[in-house]
Amino acid sequence: MRVVSPLSVSASAVSWDARKRNWVPKTKKTRRDPSSSSPLRLSLMRRSCVSVSRVVPFAKKPEGKSDYKVSQSQSLRQGVLWATEAVYIVWLFLLPFAPGDPVWAITPTTIHQLLGLSLNFFFILPFFNSVGIHFIQAPLLHPVAEGLFNFVIAWTLMFAPLLFTDCKRDRYKGSLDLLWAFQMFLTNTFLIPYMAIRLNEEDPDQTPPKLSKLGSVMVQGAPLVGLIGGLVCLLSLIWAFFGRGYEQFGGITERTQYLFSYLGSERLAYAFIWDIVLYSIFQPWLIAENIENVKRDDAGYVNWFKFIPVVGLVFYLLNLDVRDTDS
Q: Where are the domains of the chain?
A: 75-130+144-201+213-318
- The confidence score (pLDDT) of residue 24 equals 59
pLDDT tens digits, residue range 162-171? 999 999 999 9
pLDDT at 3 over 60: no
**Residues 176-185: what's their mean pLDDT?**
97
pLDDT at 157 over 80: yes
Supply the pTM of this predicted model: 0.78
- The confidence score (pLDDT) of residue 316 equals 98
**Residues 6-28: what's their mean pLDDT?**
56
pLDDT tens digits, residue range 186-236? 999 999 999 999 999 888 777 777 899 999 999 999 999 999 999 999 999
> DSSP character for 9?
S
278 vs 97: CA distance, rounded Å: 21
- The confidence score (pLDDT) of residue 18 equals 56
239 vs 259: CA distance, rounded Å: 13
pLDDT at 326 over 70: no
What is the three-state SS of 115-171? HHHHHCHHHHHHHHHHCCCCCCCCCCCCHHHHHHHHHHHHHHHHHHHHHHCCCCHHH
Which of these, 37, 287, 294, lies nearest to 158 by C-alpha position? 287
- The confidence score (pLDDT) of residue 54 equals 36
- The confidence score (pLDDT) of residue 279 equals 99
179 vs 193: CA distance, rounded Å: 10
Q: Using alpha carbons, list the distances in angstroms from residue 143 to 31, 100, 151, 232, 244.
A: 105, 19, 12, 14, 7
pLDDT at 43 over 80: no
pLDDT tens digits, residue range 247-282? 889 999 999 999 999 999 999 999 999 999 999 999
**Residues 9-20: what's their mean pLDDT?**
56
236 vs 258: CA distance, rounded Å: 16
**Residues 284-289: what's their mean pLDDT?**
98
**Residues 278-292: what's their mean pLDDT?**
98
- The confidence score (pLDDT) of residue 246 equals 84
pLDDT at 1 over 60: no
pLDDT tens digits, residue range 80-117? 999 999 999 999 999 999 999 999 999 999 999 999 99
Long-range contacts formed by 219-224: CB under 8 A, 24+ apart: 219/161, 219/164, 219/165, 219/320, 219/322, 219/325, 220/322, 220/325, 221/161, 222/161, 222/165, 222/317, 222/318, 222/320, 222/322, 223/317, 223/318, 223/320
- The confidence score (pLDDT) of residue 295 equals 94
Residues 6+ apart with CB under 8 A from 162: 283, 286, 287, 290, 313, 316, 317
- The confidence score (pLDDT) of residue 23 equals 64
What percent of the chain stands above pLDDT 70? 77
pLDDT at 45 over 90: no
- The confidence score (pLDDT) of residue 70 equals 58
Show the DSSP H helices in the chain as ranges: 39-55, 65-89, 108-119, 124-130, 143-164, 176-186, 188-197, 213-220, 222-242, 246-249, 252-263, 267-289, 299-305, 311-318
6 vs 311: CA distance, rounded Å: 113
pLDDT at 146 over 50: yes
pLDDT at 313 over 60: yes
